[in-house]
Structures are given as structure tokens and as C-alpha cells.
Structure 1
Amino acid sequence: MLNMLSTLRRIVQEVNAAKDLSSALDIIVHRVREAMETEVCSVYLLNPDTDRYELMATEGLHRSAVGVVSLGSNEGLVGYVGVREEPVNLEDAAAHPRFRYFAETGEERFASFLGVPIMHHRQVMGVLVVQQKERRQFDEVEESFLVTMSAQLAGVIAHAEATGAIRGLGWSGEVIQDTRFDAVPGAPGVAIGRAVIMLPPADLKAVPDKEIKDIEAEIALYRRAVEAVRADVRRLAEKLSSQLRPEELALFDVYLMMLDDSSLGNEIIQGIRQGQWAQGALRDVIDAHVARFEVMDDPYLQERAADIKDLGRRLLASLQEADRKQLVFPKKTILVAEELTPSMLGEVPKERLVGLVSVLGSGSSHVAILARAMGIPTVMGAVDLPYLRMDGMDLIVDGNAGEVYCNPSQELRRHYRDLMREEQELSHGLEQLRDLPCETLDGHRVPLWVNTGLYADIARSLDRGAEGVGLYRTEVPFMIQDRFPSEKEQQAIYREQLQAFHPQPVTMRTLDIGGDKELSYFPIKEDNPFLGWRGIRVTLDHPEIFLVQIRAMLKASEGLDNLRIMLPMISSVYEVEEALHLIHRAHGEVQDEGFQVPMPPVGVMIEVPAAVYQARELVQMVDFLSVGTNDLTQYLLAVDRNNPRVADLYHSFHPAVLQALRLIADACREAGKPMSVCGEMAGDPAAAVLLVALGCDVLSMSATNLPRVKWLLRQIRFDDARALLQQALREDNAYLVQSMLHLSLRNMGLGKVLQPLR
């Protein structure tokens, strides 16, 4: 037990390399029993369909009991561990009132019992048990080893279960359909289509499984890659021959030998002959060899694992080069990636992209915001999705509920097609509102603006009757370049926006990079980017970037006079003073160049708790305040909005967020200045009711949500909205606020535009 960490690592590595759930569990029971020197180790998994613990693997009990013995979820000692959600350590198991005897297992011979729950995302997935004949209490070290082991294995078991399910096979090999994976809603809507996996280059871990028909062609492809790598290695050896000692040069010979058919090559070709494509066969063989070397005690041999990895990467890069033939995008493509990026969205022809799935990220990630603007159903944070096995599979993406279904049955497809039809009918119905004003039944007027960034947003926004732009994300043109755009280039881009919406106002946010918004040519590497160098902090440190941008905005507005400028990530009065000084300087320079441009209104984005408590001072210095509820919620609740693990803690209806909004609204009202909300909260019809009641003067949202918000606000009285706000402010829980609000609106007959409860 001394070398606990390396034993743990070894077991987890072996389990990770297992082909399926049952072999993963067999490795666990075998290795844990060995490491703990006990007589029995067993794994019971909770079958969610039957709510029973099933004996899935054992070393020490009768093997014939596997798949036969099962217990109710609160039955026996195993059920007791699951109910308590903590370890149970007994000297004499049979004496415990919860002990349940199964003749099939032969466990009456074993007295001592230690069971620990296997937990994944707060759910009990199963129980890991060790037993021994002699009566004794397992000691603290043994207990903590088993607890650590189960914590390490929970994710692995969840992944193996999901992998089986995704191939359409249940635990016992039965065919299953409609396998559901929970994620986080990214962009609303439903998509039915075929998965296309997008991969990062030369990363063996990211290689998916793919079946091939023409085995000989695939072997030929692999052999060509080997030859290309051989030539590379020889070139490298020649280049370095004068600088290296003979024994160091011998390493290159080792590489060349590894490539021989008698070594790795033979195993890879065997994998291809079994129907796996060359990249997948390469991944399997390299993984197996690396795992073998990494667990060796000899440091020299451990180092060889790095050589094998390097060789694997070289071969993979060569195979990917050969496979560069364009990805084929089916008519209804659902793009799946470990981490979706804005550039990936651009690779799929627009008319073929119907849905997006990202393993990482959350509903507030930048790419989710872009997806909402483009109107593409999206789910984010599908952390348990074995996405590498999904290429070419039929999927249903439910962006409303945040769910992905694999192997959908005809019945499920029918259900979702009906939903899509209803959604379409609703959208067509709402289009009739385009030219009507947004005002409540008792005449309270609320202008609805849009958030834009992409050129495509312009037409979509005007189609839906937007009355202005509450947030133009100027970083989007910066993100699609490979250098900072010049003043002239920026001027042309901004002029396009200002002209398209003229005479309506266009609020341009100054460059907001950092956090999850990166520029490839201006990398910001930080341990905690969301609390780091971002927004106004970057541009004040680089006045040359800020001044060029402000001058471009001012010049673009000549003769149109509909520009408003907004400063992001403000956390102090000093930052506003400094920014205003630079804006006035740029204004003077532009006038000196002969441009007739009045000084535009300038506003501050309230996204940081410090700005909430300084709202009274800030509003005196500027012309308006605009609340960015995405970041404000993140910072108030200390929840990273891109982290799917804590996505359920991120909620804009949290009482602290509502109280913060009330403080900002009061400050604006006292100063007689307008308050707008340009975060995602404004686009949620139920939240819009609360924002209007709080005294918010303008709501700005993605064009997709505008018709729904307008419809709901036109169906409700301002007095009713205020009554709902008073109720909401009395609740102490975000989910209670949301369900109270939804229930009340449904009772008024206004449920059809509400987003699903999460």
C-alpha cells in the first residue's frame, strides 16, 4: 500500500485502455483485489431502468453470479452504501441488520466488508466492495485507497457505459435506441441530422473509430505514411549526425525498427484487417504500448513511452495529410467537437449545418452566443459524450432542453419533427408582429434592440423589426483576421453597421478580448483569464489600439449620427475617466482631420460586482448604463460560465442577480439616465417581464429571440409585470423564481413562447 499513487495511476491507465464496460470492470476487480491483498473485490452498478444494483464483475465470489444477482436500490449492504452515499466498513457483515445473503455468490464465507459508493456528477452509479474471511475492520489507509479508487473510476465507468450505449448495445448486449446524453442548452431549437466529428490536428487521443470497407486500400495508405515518416527520421538523423554521439544516434535506428512490420507495423495492420481505419488502428496500438511502458519501474523504459508517443504523432500527422481530402458534409450536418470554435462553424457550408454539439463549454460560451445569433440548435458541455465514436451516426440535438440522442427510433424522430413543425408555425405567426411597437396592454413602451457581431445578423435583425443595436461586438471582425484590422478597414466595417440600421441607434462596444475571446495574433496566456487582463483593461494598456478603434467609429458615423459607444468590463471610476479622456482626444483628432462628427453618447457596461456598487457614481459620468447579465451573473455567483460541471449553479434569476439589477435601475432612475440590458437574460421572454418591471428602458437580445419577447410583452399589463417582480424578489432560490414566473405566465395563457425550465 506504500506506493498507493503509482498503483492508482496504473489501474486507471489500464481501465482507460479497456475496450468496453465489462473488460473495464474485470480489470478493476482484479487489480483492486491484488493491490489491497483482499480475498474479494466486486463491482455492483445501479441500472437506472430497473433501479436495482446488478453484480457486474467479481474476483473472489462465484463468477456465475455475475449478471444474475441483483438488489433493490435500498436493499442489502450494497443498497445501504448507496443510500448513505459514504463508505460502510464492517468487521462482521452478516451481523449487520441490512445484510442480505445470496446463495449464488458464496459470500457467507467472508466476514469483513468495505463498500464505497461510485459517484459521478452527484449521482450514485454503483458500489465498489472488498471482502475478507477474517473478522477485522479495514484500516484508514485501505478505506481511503478504495474511496480514491472509486472517485478516479467513476468517470471511466460512466464513459465506458456511454460508449456501449452509443453503439446501440446495453449492458447485456441488448440493442438499445434513443440513448440520451445530458448537456447544457447552447442555442434553442431542434436538429435531426448526421454527426461529423471535427478534430484537432495530430492528437492521438482525439482520433475517432471509423469502419472501412476497402481494407487493402487502407493498408496501402498506412504503408505510404510509414515510408514518409521513415524518410523524415532518416533526414533528421543525417542533419544531427555531426552533433550527436553514436549511442544517441542509435535512437533513430530504434525508431526505424519500430516502424518495421515485425514490430508496431504488424499490430497496426492487424487492426486495419479487423475493419478499423488506419488512424484508429494506430491509436489503439500506440496507446497499448505507451500504457505498458509508463507503468514500468525502470525510468529508462518509462522514457521510451515518450518515444512511442512521438512516433505515433508523426505517423498520425502523415495519415491526416493523406486524409486531407475535404471532409464530406452531409445535407443535414451536426458538427461535433471536443471544443467548438468560431472558425469551425465557418468550415461547414451554411446550408448544410443544422446543429452543433460541443463536449466542453457552456450556454454562455462565445461560440454558443454565435450559434444563437445564427439560429443553429446547439448543446454545450456534453462532458459524458463519447464523441470520438460518433462519426456518421444519426443524432437528435435538443437545444431547448440541452440533450443529445443517439440511435433515435422512428417514434422519437416523429416526436421531434412535430416539435419542429410547431416551432416553425409559431415563428411564422410571430413574424406578423414585425412592424408593431413593443408595448404592454396598458401602454408601457419598451424598445427592443439587437445584439450583433456577424454580417449575417444585420438582415436577420431588420427582418424581425429591431429598433436599434444595443450591443455590436466589435471583436468579431478582429477575430476573423490574422492581424489587427487597420483604421480604414475598421471604418468600413462600422459604417456598414451604422448605415444598415440608420436612423436607429447602434451601440458599439469597444474591443472586448480576454476571458474566452482570443485573438490568435494577440495571445493572452493567464491562469485565470476571467479575472485577468480583459475588456477595458487591455485597451487602456494599449491606447494605440483603443484610439484607432474610436477614430474609426467616429469617422464611420459621419452624416449618420447614430453611434453610441460602450465600455466593457469597467470596475472603477478611474477607468471611465481615462477612457473618456481618450475618446475626447480621438474626437478632437477626427474633427481636426475635417470630419463633422458630434460627440456620441458614451455608456458603461455593468458586468462586475464593483460596478454595481458604484452605479450611482458611474451613471453621473456617462450617458447610459447597460447591464451584461452573462458576466455579471458569473462574477456575482463565482461560477465559470464555460464550465459544464457548475452550469446548474449559473442562473440569472438568482436572488443576488435580481437585487443587483434593482440597485442599477434605482441609480439610473435617480440620475434620469436610461438603463438597458444587453445580456442573454433580455432575450428570455419570462426574464424580460421582470426586467421591464424593474424599470429597464431598453432590452437588447439576439434577433432570434426578439419576436418571442415582443409577443409576450404585448400580451401583459405593466402592473401585472410589477406584481410578478414583487413575488420574484420574495423568493430565495433561482429555480423557484423561474418556476413561479413560468407557472403564473402559463396561467395567464402566455406559455407558448417560454423557454423550457432547466
Structure 2
Amino acid sequence: MPPQSIRNTDDARDERLGLSTLEDISKLILQSQGLEETLRNIVRLVAGRMQTEVCSIYLLDDERLVLRATIGLALDAVGRISLGLDEGLIGYTAETRNVVNVDEPQSHPRFHYIADSNEEIYHSFLGIPLHDRQRMIGVMAIQTIEPRQFNAIEISTLTTIAFQLSAVVASARLMDRLERESQLRVDASTHAAGHQPSATITDSILKGELGFGGVAIGPAFLIDEELGVADIGDDEPVELESKLDRLADAFEKSKIETLCLEKRLAQRLGEEDAAIFHSHLMILQDRVLIDKLRGHIHDGRSVTWSIKHVIGEYVNAFQRMDDPYLQERAADMEDIGRRLLANLGGQVRDVIALPYDAIVVAKSLLPSDIAMLDHAKILGLVLEASDSNGHAVIIAKSLGIPALVGVAGASRHVEPGANLILDSASRALHIDPAQSIQDEYRRLKIDGVRQQEALQQYKDRDAVTVDGTRVSLRANIGLLSDVAIAQQHGALGVGLYRTELPYMSRASFPDRQTQYEIYRRVVEGFPGQPVTVRTLDIGGDKMLPYFDSPKELNPFLGWRSVRVSLDHREMFQTQIEAVLMAATHGNVRLMFPMVTTIDEIAACKEIVANARQSLSDQGWDIPHVPVGVMIEVPGAVALADHFAKEVDFFALGTNDLIQYLLAADRANPAVSRYYDSLHPAVLSSIAQMVAAAKRCGRELCICGEMASDPACFAILVGLGLREFSVSSPSIFGLKALLSRLDIDQLTMMSQQALTQASGNHVRQLVDAMIGDETESLR
């Protein structure tokens, strides 16, 4: 159980710091005029709440860390003191991009004395790096006169503040950069000219990419206007003061709305995702932006024209930058522009209430759209943007909404209210299809609903064959919203919790407390049932936007998964500690991905032991947590007997195992035909793992996507697998299939499959023996 002393410390920290990070920094931004005043207010607040004599902020400028704000050091040092990345503890913090926590800093080998700074009287130093994604921005430094070692909770809190501060600094600097680079100013005609590629159209069909599976039928609702709102006419007051008053009122309303959106998104997705609105507040406070708007109004332009013109210039400037990250910031400016225009026109932007159940069509959906959309009326989602991992698609998946992304030209070719059919299986959007096509899709939709209703009877049933052989069907999950979906489908716990998804949806590494809260909620969602937590699995096709990673010719064969974790042991131990803390709330199992050597297992277990000891020292009583490995490479299959001596269980990760066995990148369309789940080599490797697990007395669960396919599932049961982790919506169908088959039949089929020469031959075998049963579930 969590120690009482830790809970008391948390309460004391909340009372002492009282930052409520989002709200307090938002207030500071609104109370400050520009970046310099914001920085001064932040160092004053942090020093007071942390009860330290010094808080300083250094920002990176032309490879030098320049003191930009301080409480405690000599005020005339601001702007004068600058350090290289190889100078002092400040430079050391920036160079390593890690927290530096030392007492008696004068004795540290990297200490660098600066005359007239008054630093010599301080006897502790805490440096927190400031970075925006992969960009180093600067350092926040805390110093005290009395010797002091800052504890983990204080460091975690300051790291959170540093993250919020980074967003503020990055936004302010980007605005300054746009002003300096006047060549990025483009005329209105260039802004109006679209660069959207032509859509692929065949008989009123647009093609796209899969966002989330399913079929949706209904009218279109477009979010496609310039800056997101209908064009507001120029029927404005002629008097100059009246127009300026309207502009000021729109800015004030937009600031209030931004604060409300920030709170709403924080409740839904977490504080770090909502922190994007700090940068929005900084832009709404930007004097250069406001002066530009006022200048156009003084020149006789309308308020509406001025906002569209100036915001359009900024959007174009960002889009023309070479840096993809800076290009993405255009979305922030666009979001702010549409908020200003909506408030200028008196439009209340609380929830985007769809007037009818509809398929939403948009170029992209911004953070405020996601916070305000009326999810209950969305039948489907069509986006021109090709971001299959964006917030909009993540929410569509969690709600079970069919989605297509990368549908070029959708907002130009789809009229409001047009009849649409979204078929994710064929990656197609049908626009005003013929009545015969509509009738056919409606029939298919009705059949699908009926089939799902019929399968509901299996929710509370065991997964069991005709002759009584039982298997366990658990869920693959990655988001908190997946918990409810797994519960609805009767999953017996979680066989694979992909912890990288919470990492991928944030702008920086989540701290231990944040991870613990997420994991705890997942574990509590499955009382009495196992939850297998896989440690961070990045690399290959899953990268973090804020994490430095090498450029590799073949990332799938390079630095990924447990290799990354073992090279960043502090990060790794932080995650493991969070998992162990969550284990005090339920039945947790810990699993390491893509292990290839016995040395890796030993290193992982050593970190687990260190994490357990660290928590014990803090008063935590951690229960026994089984440790396992994911078998994803052929070498691990060959070493299974040796691995079994070091771990409590195995999991088969067939997604990677198949591509490594068959040398076929599963994400490469050019070789996708070679990626075959039923290839005899794949089945032989699985059979080998089943035999090793049985021989060594270790549990074996299969977690790959092939387990959700009815034909593959039948073969796997016949091979002897009894634990499966699958996508939740497939559970009912797999139970139904199993209830019609007997184990002798499945065993015989699987043994024959092992003798086949190709995957096609295996499929023919399955079709011949149980084809009618599997076909009904596809």
C-alpha cells in the first residue's frame, strides 16, 4: 500500500507550492506584459513557494545560456551573464538535458565562478532543463544558502513547472522570430492559393487512409471555413473607437475561453496535453500582434478583415518554414484566429453542437475542436490531414467511431448535408452514392448490427470449446478510454498494456506520479484480474516527438524497445517504480519488450530490484509482481528454455516476430504480401514456444494482431495456446467461434497446418475444415 507519509508529503507539497500549475501560470501570463515580465513573475513565485533564496532562468541564445530573470542573484547580472554549454552547472544541466541536484556546488568539478554574481554564498544547486520537444531552450536554477537536497516530489513539481514554462518561452520566441524574418511575409493572394493536392476521385469516391475501422452512413457536417468560422460580414461600426473596442472585447473573451478550454482538456486528457493553451495565451498577449491589428483598423480596415489578414500572414509564415515542428505551430495561430473571429461575431463556442447525427468532414481538428465537439452525434470522421496518431483519431478509436484520414480535397468536394458512406475497410468515402449503393450499405450495416447484437450473448460466457476446453481472452489496451471498451466486451483483464501511448500523447516524458496515476486507473478498472504492463516500447514505427533518437537505415533492426530503456536507466527506473506503485492496487504483471539476450533480462531485473528498494525506502509496501518477457525475435524463440529460468511468464508478440521471421516490413506496402501470419515458419516458431513454455512450466500468452483473426485464432488454440490478448471488439466473435468447435478437431487441423508448404495452403486447409464458421465472423 502507499505509505501514509508519502500521502502526507503530497498534501504538504500541494499546500506549500500551491501552483495548480495550469491555472497559476495562466494567471501569470495574463498579468504580465511580454516574456520578460512573465519570467520575472515566475521566478518570484517559484522562489517563494519553494522557500529558496534564488530562482533564475537562463535562455539559450546563439549557443550561449543568457541569464534572463532572477530572484537572489545580482539584478544587474540579467542580460550580462552568459555561459556556454560547457561552462558551469548551468551548462552541465543543458548539456546533459537532465536534472542536476547537488549540494556544495563549489566543490563540483563543473562549478564555474562568475564575479559579482553573489553565487558564492549558496550551498545547494538544482538545475532543471527547459526544452520544447527536442529543442533545448534553457535552464531554470534553484539555489539556497543552507545546504539542501531536493526530494523527488519537489523535483517532479519543478519539472512540471519547467515544462509549462518551456511552452510559454517557445511561443514568445516564435512570434519574435516571425517579426525579424520579414521575408516570410506573403501577400494575401499567396495565402488564398491552396496547396492541397488533388483528391483521388472515381465516380464520386474519395480515397484515404485507415484511421479506425467501421462503416458510417449519414449526412456531412463540414468544418471547412477559413479560420474555422463562417465569414463574418463587414457590417461593423464606422467609428474608430467602436472598432477598437470590438477588437479588445474579442481578445478578452478569447482569453477567458482559452482558460476554460484549458481546464476542460486537462480533465479529459491531462494537464500536459492542455498546456498547449499556455502558448495561446502568450500569443493573445503579444503586443506586436495587437499593434498590427490596431494599425490596420486605424487605416480604415474592418476588424474582421484585420484579424483574417494578420492571422493569415502568421499562418503562412509558419507553413513556409523548413522545420516540420515550426510548420505545425501554424495550427496554433489558426486556432487563435478562429477563436477571435467567433468571439467577434458573438458566436458562443462552448460545444460544437451538431444539428444532426453526421459524418464530420474537416481539413484537420485542432485541440479546441476536440474539447468542444459533441461526440454523441458523430457518426464518422473524415480528415484531410494524414495524422493517424493525432488527438482526433485517438478519440475516434476510443469512442468506436469509423475514421478516414489523408482524404485529400474532402472539404472541397463534399457539400454540407451531402449523403456520405464512409467505408474504412476499402479506405473509401462515397459522396452522394446511387440509391442502389446506399441500399446495399444500409443492408450491410443492419446485418452488422444484428450480428453484434447476437454476439452480445457471449459477454458473460466463458471462452470454451464444445468439449469443454477453456481459454482466457484478455484485452490489448493503450489508453484509459480502452478500459471501458474492454469491460463492455467481457475481457478477463489486460494481456498487453502498451504504455508508450501515454508517452506519445504528451510533449515531454511524464513524471513518476503522472504515470502512477494512469497505471493505477487501469489496474483499478480490472479488480481481481491480471493487468500485464509492457514497459516503454519506442523505436521502429513508434517515436516520441520530444526524444532524441538516431537516424538509422533500418530502425526496426536498431535502437528500439528495451534497448532504449536500458540506455536511459533513470527514465526506465522511473517507469518501473510507477508500475510497482500501481501494483498496490491490483494484480499487476511486468513485461519487457523485444528482449534478445539473457544479459538484457538480468539488467532489467536489476533495475526492478533497485526500483523496489527505492520505494521500500520511501515507505511503500510493494507486493510480488511477476516479471516476463515478450518473445518477438527468432533468437528469443531459440533461447526460450534459458529465458524461462529468469522470468515468470512469456508473451508472444507476433506483429514483430512475423516481420523478423519473413523479412517483411509490415508497414511497407511494397512487401506487404510477404507478411503472412499463417506462413508455416511462423506457425512452427509458435509451436516451438508452446512446447518450451510447457516444458519449463511457464505461462504463455499471445498478444499480436493475428490472435484477433478467426482463422489464426483457431490454429493457435489447436497448437496449444490457452491465453490470448486481443482487440476488445473481437472477443465476442472469438467466443462464438470457439463454442462451435472441439479441441480434437482444432488440434488435428493445426498439426496438418505445420506440414504445409505455404500460407495459402494453410488457408485452404482452414477453409476446408472450418471455413463456414470463420467466414461468418469476418
User: What range describes the TM-score normalised by the shorter chain of this pair?
Assistant: 0.5 to 0.7
Q: SS state of the match for residue 632, structure 1?
A: helix
Q: TM-score, normalised by structure 1?
A: 0.56
Q: Aligned pair in 2 of structure 1 residues 633, 348: CA closer, same or farther (>3 Å)?
A: farther
Residue in structure 2 matching 1:678, options 664, 682, 703: 703
Written as runs of structure 1 = structure 2, the 5 A alignment for 1:404-415 is 404-415=429-440
Q: Aligned pair in 2 of structure 1 residues 752, 347: CA closer, same or farther (>3 Å)?
A: farther
Q: Deviations along 1:165-205, whole A, 9 cap, x unmatched? A: 4xxxxxxxxxx45x364x67664421124567889xxxxxx
Contact 1:639 1:646 in 2 (8 A): yes
Q: 1:691 matched to which residue of 2?
A: 716
Written as runs of structure 1 = structure 2, the 5 A alignment for 1:54-203 is 162-163=200-201, 165=202, 176-177=203-204, 179=205, 181=207, 187-193=212-218
The answer to whether 1:547 aligns with 2:569 is: no
Q: Deviations along 1:585-627, whole A, 9 cap, x unmatched? A: 2123323333332331111112233323333332332111112
Contact 1:514 1:533 in 2 (8 A): yes
Q: Aligned pair in 2 of structure 1 residues 333, 670: CA closer, same or farther (>3 Å)?
A: farther
Number of residue equivalences: 511
Percent identity of paired positions between Structure 1 and Structure 2: 36
The answer to whether 1:753 aligns with 2:773 is: no
Contact 2:475 2:493 in 1 (8 A): yes
Alpha-carbon shift at residue 333 of structure 1 (Å): 5.1
Gaps of 5+ in 2: 1-196, 248-295, 297-304, 343-348
Q: 2:42 matched to which residue of 1?
A: none
User: d(CA) in 2 for partners of 1:578 and 1:316?
Assistant: 43
User: d(CA) in 2 for partners of 1:613 and 1:342?
Assistant: 47
Residue in structure 2 matching 1:451, options 450, 455, 476: 476
Written as runs of structure 1 = structure 2, the 5 A alignment for 1:372-411 is 374-379=399-404, 386-387=409-410, 389-390=412-413, 392=416, 394-411=419-436
Alpha-carbon shift at residue 683 of structure 1 (Å): 1.8
User: d(CA) in 1 for partners of 2:514 and 2:231?
Assistant: 50
Contact 1:364 1:641 in 2 (8 A): no
Alpha-carbon shift at residue 438 of structure 1 (Å): 0.9
Alpha-carbon shift at residue 698 of structure 1 (Å): 0.6
The answer to whether 1:482 aligns with 2:507 is: yes
RMSD of aligned Cα (Å): 5.1
Alpha-carbon shift at residue 470 of structure 1 (Å): 0.2
Q: Aligned pair in 2 of structure 1 residues 537, 314: CA closer, same or farther (>3 Å)?
A: closer
Written as runs of structure 1 = structure 2, the 5 A alignment for 1:233-632 is 322-324=337-339, 325=342, 330=354, 331-332=356-357, 334=359, 348-356=373-381, 374-379=399-404, 386-387=409-410, 389-390=412-413, 392=416, 394-524=419-549, 526-527=551-552, 528-558=554-584, 560=586, 562-632=587-657
Contact 2:209 2:427 in 1 (8 A): yes
Residue type at the aligned position of 2:775: G
Alpha-carbon shift at residue 498 of structure 1 (Å): 1.8
Using the TM superposition, name which of 518-527 and 702-711 deviates more: 518-527
Q: Aligned pair in 2 of structure 1 residues 446, 521: CA closer, same or farther (>3 Å)?
A: same
User: d(CA) in 2 for partners of 1:339 and 1:694?
Assistant: 46
Q: Deviations along 1:198-222, whole A, 9 cap, x unmatched? A: 89xxxxxxx99999999989xx9xx
Residue in structure 2 matching 1:633, options 658, 668, 672: 658
User: d(CA) in 2 for partners of 1:211 and 1:410?
Assistant: 33
Gaps of 5+ in 1: 1-158, 166-175, 200-206, 229-259, 261-268, 270-277, 287-304
Residue type at the aligned position of 1:751: E
Q: Aligned pair in 2 of structure 1 residues 580, 339: CA closer, same or farther (>3 Å)?
A: farther
Contact 1:494 1:552 in 2 (8 A): yes
Alpha-carbon shift at residue 686 of structure 1 (Å): 2.3
Using the TM superposition, name which of 316-325 and 600-609 deviates more: 316-325
Residue type at the aligned position of 2:697: G
Q: 1:35 matched to which residue of 2?
A: none
Alpha-carbon shift at residue 320 of structure 1 (Å): 7.2
User: d(CA) in 1 for partners of 2:510 and 2:334?
Assistant: 36
User: d(CA) in 2 for partners of 1:724 and 1:743?
Assistant: 10
Contact 1:362 1:647 in 2 (8 A): no
Q: Deviations along 1:81-111, whole A, 9 cap, x unmatched? A: xxxxxxxxxxxxxxxxxxxxxxxxxxxxxxx
Contact 1:363 1:642 in 2 (8 A): no
Contact 1:433 1:707 in 2 (8 A): yes
Residue in structure 1 matching 2:684, options 659, 665, 676: 659
Q: Deviations along 1:142-183, whole A, 9 cap, x unmatched? A: xxxxxxxxxxxxxxxxx86834x4xxxxxxxxxx45x364x6
Structure with max Cα Rg: 1
Using the TM superposition, name which of 708-717 and 664-673 deviates more: 664-673
Q: Aligned pair in 2 of structure 1 residues 409, 323: CA closer, same or farther (>3 Å)?
A: farther
Q: Aligned pair in 2 of structure 1 residues 610, 386: CA closer, same or farther (>3 Å)?
A: farther
Contact 1:375 1:704 in 2 (8 A): no
Q: Deviations along 1:1-50, whole A, 9 cap, x unmatched? A: xxxxxxxxxxxxxxxxxxxxxxxxxxxxxxxxxxxxxxxxxxxxxxxxxx
